[in-house]
Amino acid sequence: MKDKDLDGMTFEDIARGIESMDIRGAAFIARAAALAIAKHVENFQGEGIDQFEDWVDKGKERLISTRPTAVSLENALRYVLKPGDDVESWKTSIEMRADEFIKRSHEAGKKIAEYGGKRIKDGDTVLTHCNSSLALGAVEYAFDQGKDVKVIATESRPKKQGYITVRYLAEKDIPVTLIVDSAVRYMIREVDQVYTGADTIASNGAVINKIGTSQIALCANEARVPFTVCAETYKFSQGTAFGELVTIEERDPSEIVDPADVRGVRIRNPVFDATPADYVDSIITEEGVIPPSSAYRILKEMFDY
Ligand code: RUB
């Protein structure tokens, strides 16, 4: 699904789409949430600022409940929902700020593609995990600059977002090899750089991304292969600066296996993990390339505390 597919959808269609993962990837989720909340306020039928505030809160809570790990969604809503003085001006502000957020998200993506793409060298093989629009943007930028770039993409069990990645790259004629997640340590000898996305970046520089990312970072560290994360500043989590821990989403076990096939067995399906800052060489943001130790500075500038 793409941004333009959201236009005809209602608020609840978008919320369900995020829940079911038809709408997925932290950047897309954030833009979808911004658009959804603007649609939600259009449907307000009550009276007065108090009722409007309740209506806004209801919409916000519904969206936040859809996927608990990606702070991009929460930060998008924080940006869009800057409080207003009366219903009409607040409504207008929400609609304008939603448009603005979506535009800024696309612009940030373009900058990250450029900064990330410049750091990919001619002849590089880049390993990526899951399906990050930003990591792929960087690869595409390098390829479009005429560089000989190859990609190794993990399958990314259980939802196999790696298939979205390989199909996308193959369509662009970017040479790509698909591997199972457990082949990373074997294949790392053929890899020059690892590029991934992020769902959340904590104030200590830890990167929360698709389950398996931290194992890849360990392999990259052991093989001295640089590990780069592509993420807009709205993926940095303010809450973590004040002691909050990132909630790791656990999804339905049936995504892994039919429970009837393994009776009597507990199945767990955590879908994200945290890669400590020590294993991350650079984070590429729209503000520039930063070390993970600068996460707190980014948060301080963003939230002005
Ligand atoms: C997607 C995932 C992606 C990040 C970044 O997980 O982990 O790497 O969301 O994506 P899921 P982007 O499929 O569970 O949403 O760079 O597109 O924001």
Q: To test ligand 1's pocket by mutation, which of 3, 66, 132, 247 has the most ligand atoms within 8 angstroms of CB? A: 132
Residue 302 has what pLDDT? 85
How far apart, in whole angstroms, are the C-alpha atoms of residue 103 and residue 100?
Answer: 5
Instruction: Calculate how far, in angstroms, residue 272's C-alpha sits from the geometric centre of ligand 1.
Output: 10
- Least Cα distance to 229 among 269, 284, 271, 190 occurs for 284
Residues 250-260: what's their mean pLDDT?
96
Residue 93 pLDDT grade (very low, low, confident, very high; cuts 50, 70, 90): very high
- Which amino acid is present at 241? A
Q: Separation of 201 CA from ligand 1 center, angstroms? A: 13
Is residue 130 among the annotated active site residues? yes
pLDDT digits (tens, 9 = 90+) for 126-147: 999 999 999 999 999 999 999 9
Q: How far apart are CA 266 and CA 189, in angstroms?
A: 35
**Binding-site residues, ligand 1, Cβ < 6 A:** 24-27, 130, 132-134, 161, 196-199, 209-210, 271
Q: How many CB atoms neighbour CB 301 within 10 A?
A: 12
CA of 23 to the centre of ligand 1 (A): 10
Q: How many alpha carbons lie under 13 Å from residue 244 in its C-beta half-sphere? A: 15
Instruction: Confirm if 194 and 136 have CB atoms less than 8 A apart.
Output: no
As a whole number of Å, the CA-based R_g of the chain is 20
Nearest ligand 1 atom, CA 159: 13
pLDDT at 234: 97
Out of 124, 130, 219, 230, the active site residue is 130
Q: What is the pLDDT of residues 69-87, one digit of tens each?
A: 999 999 999 999 998 889 9
Q: What is the domain class of 112-303 according to CATH?
A: alpha beta
pLDDT over 90 (residue 197): yes
Share of the chain above pLDDT 70, in %: 99
Atom nearest to 72 CA in ligand 1: 18
With a CB cutoff of 8 Å and minimum separation 6, the contacts of 39 are 9, 10, 11, 14
Q: What is the pLDDT of residues 171-196, one digit of tens each?
A: 999 999 999 999 999 999 999 999 99
User: What average pLDDT score do residues 243-252 get?
Assistant: 97
CA distance 283 to 233: 10
303 pLDDT band, cuts 50/70/90, is: confident
Tell me the per-residue pLDDT of 10-27, one tens digit each, with 9 for 90 and over: 999 999 999 999 999 999
Helix, strand, coil % over all residues of the chain, rounded to 5: 55, 15, 35
**H-helix or E-strand containing 134?**
helix 133-144
Domain range annotation of the chain:
3-110, 112-303
Annotate 23-42 with b (16+ C-beta within 10 A) or e (fewer). bbbbbbbbbbbbbbbbbbbe
CA 197 to centroid of ligand 1, rounded, Å: 6
Q: What CATH class is the domain 3-110? A: mainly alpha
* CA of residue 64 to ligand 1 center, whole Å: 16
Q: Look up residue 136 and give its two tokens.
A: 């792929």
- Of residues 269, 249, 270, the one with CA closest to residue 259: 269
Of the candidates 199, 219, 230, 273, the residue annotated as catalytic is: 199
> Which of 131, 214, 247 is the best mutation target for the ligand 1 pocket, counting ligand atoms within 8 Å of the beta carbon and taking the most?
131
- Residues contacting 86, CB < 8 A, separation 6+: 49
CA–CA gap between residue 101 and residue 180 (Å, rounded): 36
Q: Atom 16 (ligand 1): residue with closest C-alpha?
A: 132
Residue 21 phi, psi (nearest 5):
75, 20
Distances (CA, A) of 192 to 29, 113, 156, 279: 30, 18, 20, 15
What is the bridge-based pairing of β-strands 227-230 and 200-201?
unpaired
